[in-house]
Structure 1
Amino acid sequence: MSKPINTSKNNKSPIRYNEPNGEYDADYKPTKKDIKNFPDIQNGRSSLIQGTPVAIQQVGIHNFRLPLKYQKREGGSIELETKVTGTVSLEAHKKGINMSRIMTSFYEFKNEYVFDKLDVILSKYRDDLNSFDSKILLKFSYPMMKQSLRSGLEGYQYYESALEGHLNGNGKFKKILHFDFVYSSACPCSYELSEFARNDRNKATVTHSQRSVARISIEFDEIVWIEDLQEMCEKALHTETQVIVKREDEMAFAELNGSYLKFVEDAARLLYEQLIKDKRIKDFRIICSHQESLHSHDAVSVILPPNSSFGEDISHELWSSLIHTS
């Protein structure tokens, strides 16, 4: 039973209120009218703003996960766990946003092909939150069955990918696909020195090579399949890391590395040569990172086409994200 509590200092005029019931009420089902009367601090008056009342460029949710459907180039679809970042702009006079509306927008379209509905999703949660700009980033690992070089064995290669969308206040929609391609880079200088030592002094040597990553970012309207990007990268670089390897495959991989030696500058230009020819690609950026086995640092490069809207200045966090681990 609730008891009156005396909170006055002189104990002469007690302030009375009921102690709250500590039991969870599983049977309580609020009506729409009840919910309408609930406190809504996020949409409160501007006087509730803490700090300087200025506009916020992006506010929303990060690392919200759910399975989404993706179309495959050869037909059919695949459902992949996707990490979602969804944000909107916030005007200076507004306290905050109802972030759950971003999540519910995705669940509304969870059975649709995400490539086809990205602009619709952005428009919906932008309008639901009464904002000007909305942005989205979907991160996922896309599997492809790859065959070994000589043994004929097959295994799944997983490609780290991200689909990015931006809808601004004027209704302009931009769609970007990020794709990571992991390959081996054998150093041309090391190869020449190794050959010289073997021929000049009969010394056993090994050319240094390392796991390397190319991150391809493309802006597009007409769909460019993830399979297309993988094929462009493989055609340019030839030395993709392998899934299942027997001795004959390892020998083949050593031969491939010897046939396609490359500095990080070479890798960027070879990829550029492939992407610049594809008319579906409106703009692109290529970032290469050779995670050196000789040096204690990495070798990196960035290349853009003329008049690109992608930035050439890359943050430490982006370089660090290129390190791929099992």
Structure 2
Amino acid sequence: MTLPDIAAQSTPHDHALDWVGMQAIALPLHLGDQRISARADAGVSLDDPDARGIHMSRLYLALATLETQPLTPQLLQQVLERFLDSHLALSNRAFIALRGELLLSRPALVSPLAGWKAYPFEIRARLDASGFHLEWQVNVTYSSTCPCSAALARQLIQQRFSETFEGQSLDYQAVHSWLGSTQGIVATPHSQRSTATLQVRLAPHTGEFLIQPLVDAAEQALGTAVQTAVKRADEQAFALANGQNLMFCEDAARRLHRALLQLPWLEAFHLRVVHAESLHAHDAVACSQHRWH
């Protein structure tokens, strides 16, 4: 018995559609040496105005290639070509988006401890008459200490120092003890957990997704990546790193821009930093880009 194919029936609507497909498909990926639980959006254009619909099951089955092979730009292009080959005369453009989290082991600043950090990423690719197009992004979390708040805190400490020691002959031990007390350090600057979203395009013929090198370059430029497992010595080292890397959102964006310019395998990038303010009820944001259009 032949089963009916309703999607193959013609329709009187006489209207093409830009994108038809599925989203949030559960899919395991091989990224680097990791097997990642991801979600995929898959779709094609419906350019034949007389066709009622596409063959979504064919898109779903084509995604199976991503389960068994390491994820590369070339593999994504092959999957998109299968999307179009399975929709001849129906579709001229194919799309895919992949979302997941890359887990990286990160060492503590001083102690021998280490722990895992999750880096959310998204990969978007399309294939059309102009060729294969690919861009991807990753989120990097870091700490940012406000330079203005640090300066105001230092001023209050100076004022308390004057109130305590004015007119006295300074004694080293007394000053040393005062600096280590809550009576001396009366104010501290405010810091906040912050996020950088790095959206990039790879240079031609780059054969792999270099997510970890991108993360490493960003965290090195910022100097205050959030930590995993720590001891008190690591927490003290983190406080020192924050004090030596005071940053407005503008400072962080410029640091990242300079760092990304040094990566020869990037063709273009757009970055966005968000400082989730601990002083204000709103966030501070800065963006920058290079050859992005």
Partner of 2:199: 217
Deviation digits for residues 192-230 of structure 1, max 9, x if unmatched?
011111112356112111111001011113135111111
CA contact (8 A) 1:87 1:136 kept: yes
Higher strand residue share: 2
Q: TM-score normalized by structure 1?
A: 0.77
Give, in whole Å, the separation in 1 of the partners of 2:286 and 2:16.
35
Partner of 2:22: 61
Partner of 1:188: 147
Give, in whole Å, the separation in 2 of the partners of 1:248 and 1:238.
17
Higher relative contact order (CA 8 A, sep 6+): 2
Secondary structure of 1:198's match?
Answer: helix
Give, in whole Å, the separation in 2 of the partners of 1:42 and 1:291.
48
More displaced stretch, 148-157 vs 88-97: 88-97
Residue 279 of structure 1 and its aligned partner are, at CA, apart by 2.2
Give, in whole Å, the separation in 2 of the partners of 1:54 and 1:264.
46
Q: Which amino acid aligns with 2:255?
A: L
More displaced stretch, 227-236 vs 104-113: 104-113
Deviation digits for residues 266-299 of structure 1, max 9, x if unmatched?
1111111011122211111001111111100011
* Structure 1 position 122 matched with structure 2 position 92: no
Residue 136 of structure 1 and its aligned partner are, at CA, apart by 0.9
Give, in whole Å, the separation in 1 of the partners of 2:276 and 2:234.
23
Give, in whole Å, the separation in 2 of the partners of 1:169 and 1:46.
26
What is the root-mean-square deviation of aligned Cα atoms in Å? Answer: 1.5
Give, in whole Å, the separation in 1 of the partners of 2:231 and 2:66.
44
Q: What's the % identity of the aligned pairs?
A: 31
Partner of 1:157: 117
Q: Which amino acid aligns with 2:213?
A: D
Partner of 1:40: 5
Partner of 1:105: 62
Would the alpha carbon gap of residues 181 and 109 (structure 1) be closer, same or farther in structure 2, given more than 3 Å must change?
Answer: closer
Partner of 2:174: none
Give, in whole Å, the separation in 1 of the partners of 2:292 and 2:99.
23
Aligned length: 263
Deviation digits for residues 117-164 of structure 1, max 9, x if unmatched?
110001101221231111111111101111111111011111111122
**2:43 counterpart (78, 87, 104):** 87
CA contact (8 A) 1:84 1:139 kept: yes
CA contact (8 A) 1:180 1:215 kept: yes
Residue 109 of structure 1 and its aligned partner are, at CA, apart by 4.0
CA contact (8 A) 1:211 1:291 kept: yes
* Structure 1 position 142 matched with structure 2 position 102: yes
* Structure 1 position 200 matched with structure 2 position 159: yes
CA contact (8 A) 1:133 1:168 kept: yes
